[in-house]
A and B are shown apart, each in its own frame.
Chain A
Amino acid sequence: MEKMSRVTTALGGSVLTGRTMHCHLDAPANAISVCRDAAQVVVAGRSIFKIYAIEEEQFVEKLNLRVGRKPSLNLSCADVVWHQMDENLLATAATNGVVVTWNLGRPSRNKQDQLFTEHKRTVNKVCFHPTEAHVLLSGSQDGFMKCFDLRRKDSVSTFSGQSESVRDVQFSIRDYFTFASTFENGNVQLWDIRRPDRCERMFTAHNGPVFCCDWHPEDRGWLATGGRDKMVKVWDMTTHRAKEMHCVQTIASVARVKWRPECRHHLATCSMMVDHNIYVWDVRRPFVPAAMFEEHRDVTTGIAWRHPHDPSFLLSGSKDSSLCQHLFRDASQPVERANPEGLCYGLFGDLAFAAKESLVAAESGRKPYTGDRRHPIFFKRKLDPAEPFAGLASSALSVFETEPGGSAMRWFVDTAERYALAGRPLAELCDHNAKVARELGRNQVAQTWTMLRTIYCSPGLLPTANLSHSVGKGGSCGLQLMNSFNLKDMAPGLGSETRLDRSKGDARSDTVLLDSSATLITNEDNEETEGSDVPADYLLGDVEGEDDELYLLDPEHTHPEEPECVLPQEAFPLRHEIVDTPPGPEHLQDKADSPHVSGSEADVASLAPMDSSFSLLSVSHALYDSRLPPDFFSVLVRDMLHFYAEQGDVQMAVSVLIVLGERVRKDIDEQTQEHWYTSYIDLLQRFRLWNVSNEVVKLSTSRAVSCLNQASTTLHVNCSHCKRPMSSRGWVCDRCHRCASMCAVCHHVVKGLFVWCQGCSHGGHLQHIMKWLEGSSHCPAGCGHLCEYS
């Protein structure tokens, strides 16, 4: 309001000037109406009925029409209207069902003219004929509309809506005889004033009451309606059936709607509850309001454009007891606040972004990456010269595709499907997952799993089959560390084949090792059960030194390598591809490998204990049991999880979190866990891995995540005969009274788990079908289909 912008408009000789301003009323307003000269406004409410002059700087009270000692209910106005032909004539609708007309030309203080008490219930709306001086229309809660001739004492004709309460009545501006009425049950009726017996046309416009309607001032057939269902709809009434042309979804039930003068597609709305703002919409852009007035502190109850040919002045009355004049120029425009750029990653690495066209044009002018592997595709919207938002609306969409055949995210899907997260001992889970990772060529991840297993599992408990495997792995590690000088030279030169060879060699040496280690373990177990700590003592001095050394080594290794760690290795390799020169799949592996060998933070960190445990197998067990409780590593594991998550491999972080469960959960704060879970679940769902995502949700311990599976758990079923939804029970149809799901085996109704073949759509009780298909491969219904059950 401090903005003092002034607008002056010349309109047929008269000049409108003013600014955004407001004045305080004594009571809440229910409705307002403007005089035809645009210089006065009438405000009506339960305990207010006044006329204000609109001056340049302020509103000035001109007349108080509420006179008399005792306020009568006749003065408690639900609606008010000022005649657009005669500036002395007003009509009000009272909450007790009386329609009152007022003649400002009367010399006495009381301007009340006529009283019509024909309605039995509250009158919701009154409306003067736009051109006829004496015709007044009213619509009431009792379901009737009445047409009054002001020269007579009672109504000329009564129109029965044959339904519930009338909420609004409006004379058509163009068609002399037509008026529209809206009803509480969602209907809109069109009447001819000469035919009170039945309506010309009726259609259901909204779900729930239609609170308001407004005819377009220029387009003959356009009617805007607003309802409790929070929608504004624009109907074309010229066609045989009323056609919905536009629909604007607002955030609260729509109390009033008014077309904006001189702007063909604009209309103003205010809401009945909760939302206090007034919006001006362009019906063609139904998502963002073109303008917004935020002056009121309570719901707006009445809006009116000040002059029928001036689009910049809007008047409004509100429950907060204030009257406002809004200037379009001062309106806030949500469009300006909107971010006109959008960026989105596709699932398979495609990148799309939309931006203002001017911006894109400038950008592409430089063309810095022309030689790159990107394939930008440009879409351009066709510009409508009539479009008022042309400047904002024209934007360009660019899509960058990744190289086809890069099989970018294949590993993610495979890993997600094959990982085992629960239901087996920890060691088995780790081994299984390590194996999966290795088969997918993700050696670093595989290594991590193996190390986790070593940290958290007491090796004595391992089944021998797994043992041989892990020992083999351990052996190779030990080897690596011992020959740590060779390490770096070895790695880059190694192709996958040479590595294969090496692992074969390892396996061979493992078998040799295996026997001795197995015996060692059994020995040790015996000793431990005896309760002697001799082996531990005996090993003490020997190992300690080595251990220390290892940990000393650690930071040195980590720090210089850190920049390398930042490079994304596993997650979203596609991003790599965009930046770098084309890597083949092998190259990718190399990349993944090189930091692994040279020792990323996580690797080296967990390499240390691993090493100590395996380079001298029997020794390490004792050491591990007596000196290094798993808690000792929790910091490292935590860092490792964070590391993976940072890299974008949230899959690894979540999988480890689930597998290790209580062992690490306490070290990572709830919010981070939740964040990982939700990101992973989101990814899984985008890849349509519903089962995996459900498993993850189920296994998660975070409350916010596990309740994801508890929302909207309803399953809707349609009847197999009449194809209608079965609303009440899942097994019998209300309409055709047949049991929809019969078991093909036992011919009884299936009320619980129902399984059916996707090929022939026969099915039945889960147990029965399972049993049947054990013995026969044909469908139990006898259709001849070869059903499969997996």
Chain B
Amino acid sequence: MRLATAASEAYTTPLAVSELLGCKQCAAGRDQDEELGIRIPRPLGQGPSRFIPEKEILQVGSEDAQMHALFADSFAALGRLDNITLVMVFHPQYLESFLKTQHYLLQMDGPLPLHYRHYIGIMAAARHQCSYLVNLHVNDFLHVGGDPKWLNGLENAPQKLQNLGELNKVLAHRPWLITKEHIEGLLKAEEHSWSLAELVHAVVLLTHYHSLASFTFGCGISPEIHCDGGHTFRPPSVSNYCICDITNGNHSVDEMQVNSAENVSVSDSFFEVEALMEKMRQLQECRDEEEASQEEMASRFEIEKRESMFVFSSDDEEVTPARDVSRHFEDTSYGYKDFSRHGMHVPTFRVQDYCWEDHGYSLVNRLYPDVGQLIDEKFHIAYNLTYNTMAMHKDVDTSMLRRAIWNYIHCMFGIRYDDYDYGEINQLLDRSFKVYIKTVVCTPEKVTKRMYDSFWRQFKHSEKVHVNLLLIEARMQAELLYALRAITRYMT
């Protein structure tokens, strides 16, 4: 049945996608329908992402066999080809694993009923006011037979889901505060209690959607055409340019400014890349010679941790209006607080004592079979993905840079690798990049196009998307580690 609907939609949706993508042709292509007197919504966005120019993104129809297979899979599973998929397809290898995992989490065998899964997704995305994901999953939630009343707010959902609200909140913003008492509270709530398997499923869903919200904001994913903000019924413009240009007028001006800014600083940013590569080379070579003392190594982590707290964007403009989303909040005041600024003394989380490969995996796979394997693969692909390129350079070993990004994110969450020299982070990641990382990971709703444009100016968009993949996977792993450690402690 499901297959049949997917197949039938497969014929209609490419149309929608091409509409989305090809808004320049829309004036021409519409005439026929207009004659029939049907009101046709017009897409507002310019392609799947607000940050990435449409022409950079793969056009549906011009994909290669592998990507095509992925698109087909995405259809078969969801009955749509969403903007996230269209942006992620820059990295087909990752996308495949991502879709497989998401499909398994939402639709395959698992301890939670289907509507619960989507509702948990909504809860998680709402924590970051990500209306894009909320809208998508509201549709799915209703589609699988969820009670529309629940959507009026968490207090209308069953007590069991309400209990999850606290964990959702802590996990999204300050995962290091999760204790085994949180877990105990959920598991021992008499008739509203969660089973361990259900809880692990819920935790995986929560972390998945928290980090996906990061991706949505980090790459500026545009709303889908059928969702609020994705279309308009305003009549086509009288002048000869497309409606989209009017409604998003300021947007395109922005882009022009940025473009001109880029032109000015081309030579500047060219040197940026060169400098970065030079630093990597240096670090590679002199690592063996110059040996930092133990104390210094230890303090470097602390420094990096402390510094990460000063890294913050100055511009607080453009906060996404959270009309329909806000109802899922109980406590909007609860947001990210810096790990290091936090008054209470929270001991550093040491990866050598609790890591995903040894401990987290075993726990997840025990309680929610097969998912551990899927997530493990996803982490691996995200961490090891490389094309050995940097901007215009080829054959570069980027492992050091990737590791620095990964560890920097974990550092923001207070997770420390004993065998890492945190001095490297300072050398490799410049301030604007750190601002971007920090915003995407901790307060994704505040990401702006300016932030996206101002880091790594010479790098390709696909590389920036690659960075985003690293960010969301590192974030997901960090949240999972804290949650799973608490569960482990509860179990022992």
Contacts and interface: CB of A to CB of B under 8 A. Distances in A.
A322 to B, nearest CB: 13
Nearest to B3: A751
B19 interface: no
A252 B366 contact: yes
B362 A272 contact: yes
Interface string B348-359: 001011000111
Given A122-B419, A712-B109, A734 B352 contact: no
Contact of B297 (A96, A211, A730): A96
Interface stretch (A71-79, A238-246, A350-358, A403-411): A71-79
B239 interface: no
Contact of A72 (B287, B294, B363, B491): B294
A728 interface: yes
Interface stretch (B69-77, B121-129, B427-435): B69-77
Interface in A189-230: 208-209, 211, 228
Contacts of B291: 117
Contacts of A711: 109
Q: Which of B291, B350, B362, B376 has the most CB of A within 10 A?
A: B362
A73 B294 contact: yes
Interface string B1-27: 001100100000000000000000000
A483 B225 CA distance: 83
A427 B272 CA distance: 87
A74 B295 CA distance: 11
Contact of B418 (A96, A184, A253): A96
Q: How large is the interface on A (under 10, 10 to 19, 20 to 34, 35 or more residues)?
A: 35 or more
Contacts of B295: 70, 72
A95 B492 contact: no
A276 B492 contact: yes
Contacts of B358: 209, 211, 228, 253, 272-273
A752 B353 contact: no
Contact of A253 (B72, B362, B376): B362
Interface string A359-400: 000000000000000000000000000000000000000000
A298 interface: yes
Given A117-B291, A734-B69, A95 B418 contact: yes
B357 A73 contact: no
Contacts of B376: 208
B419 A95 contact: yes
Contacts of B287: 120
Interface string A108-130: 00000000010111100000000
B7 A728 contact: no
B60 interface: no
Interface in B330-344: none
A153 interface: no
Interface residues of B, number: 32
A272 B361 CA distance: 11
Interface in A710-752: 711-712, 714, 728-730, 734, 751-752
B258 interface: no
A276 B491 CA distance: 11
A488 interface: no
A74 B294 contact: yes
A138 interface: no
B350 A46 contact: yes
B362 A252 contact: yes
Interface string B257-285: 00000000000000000000000000000
B426 interface: no
B419 A730 contact: no
A141 interface: yes
Given A46-B350, A117-B291, A184-B357, A273 B419 contact: no
A121 B4 contact: no
A228 B362 contact: yes
Contact of A752 (B3, B357, B491): B3
A663 interface: no
B78 interface: no
Interface string B280-307: 0000000100010011011000000000
A523 B307 CA distance: 98
B418 A274 contact: no
Given A184-B357, A228-B358, A273 B488 contact: yes
B361 A121 contact: no
Interface string B415-447: 000110000000000000000000000000000
Given A95-B352, A252-B366, A73 B418 contact: yes
B490 to A, nearest CB: 12
Contact of A120 (B69, B350, B373, B419): B419
Nearest to A273: B362
A226 to B, nearest CB: 12
Contact of A97 (B73, B109, B373, B419): B419
Contacts of B294: 70, 72-74
Q: Which of A74, A95, A119 has the most CB of B within 10 A?
A: A95
Given A122-B352, A273-B362, A298-B492, A209 B3 contact: no
Q: Which of B109, B291, B294, B353 has the most CB of A within 10 A?
A: B294
Contacts of B4: 751-752
B105 to A, nearest CB: 15
B363 A274 contact: yes
Contacts of B109: 711-712, 714
Given A272-B359, A273-B363, A76 B3 contact: no
B271 to A, nearest CB: 29
A664 interface: no
A299 interface: yes
Interface string B362-397: 110010000001001000000000000000000000
Nearest to B77: A728
The 7 lowest CB-CB distance pairs between A and B, nearest first, are A95-B418, A72-B294, A273-B362, A95-B352, A122-B419, A96-B418, A97-B419
18 contacts: A46-B353, A73-B297, A74-B294, A78-B352, A97-B419, A120-B287, A141-B419, A209-B358, A228-B361, A253-B362, A273-B359, A299-B492, A712-B109, A714-B109, A729-B76, A751-B3, A751-B7, A752-B4
Interface of B: 3-4, 7, 69, 72-73, 76, 108-109, 287, 291, 294-295, 297-298, 350, 352-353, 357-359, 361-363, 366, 373, 376, 418-419, 488, 491-492
Given A97-B418, A274-B363, A276-B492, 13 more contacts: A73-B297, A76-B352, A94-B418, A120-B287, A121-B419, A122-B352, A208-B361, A274-B488, A712-B109, A714-B108, A728-B76, A729-B76, A752-B4
